Amino acid sequence: MAEETIFSKIIRKEIPSEMLYQDDLVTVFRDINPVAPTHVLIVPNKLIPTVDDIEPEDELTMGRMLVVAKKIAREEGISDDGYRLIINCKEHGNQEVPHIHMHLVGGRPLGFMLKREPT
């Protein structure tokens, strides 16, 4: 059994967050340390630690994350200019919180996806 993170407590509203949306499968709240004018996290209610732990039965939840990302982006007023969706995975992906979350980032030009470094 995976260890719960702070995100489970946010989802259950046991600790405060600026929550924008919640349904039976996903929860959306603003990142506590935003990197852009809009920076929200789209999180499955079920504790799935990393993308590497996704099971076939999670397909609906993963799809819901994208559908909700589109809706929130529109509500944030960033859809026409565009935005970026990011899911970090494990150590090389620099994932800090082991509960899958999709970052929705926008509201300014975001530049290249990754800094170019020698491969």
The residues that touch ligand 5GP, with contacts defined as CB under 6 A, are 6, 17, 29-33, 41, 88, 94-97
Euclidean distance between CA atoms 119 and 109, whole angstroms = 26
The kind and range of the H/E element at 7 are helix 6-11
Distance, CA of 78 to CA of 86 (rounded, Å): 16
Selected catalytic residue, list 39, 92, 99, 101 = 101
Angle at 90 between CA 59 and CA 79, to 5 degrees: 55
C-beta of 25 vs 36, nearer to ligand 5GP:
36
Can 101 be counted among the known catalytic residues?
yes
Q: How far is the CB of 64 from ligand 5GP (least distance, A)?
A: 19
Q: Are 97 and 5 contacting, i.e. CB atoms less than 8 angstroms apart? A: yes
Give the nearest distance from C-beta 79 to ligand 5GP in angstroms: 22
Minimum Å gap between C-beta 35 and ligand 5GP is 7
Q: Which is nearer to ligand 5GP, 31 or 58 (CB)?
A: 31
| Active site (catalytic) residues | 101
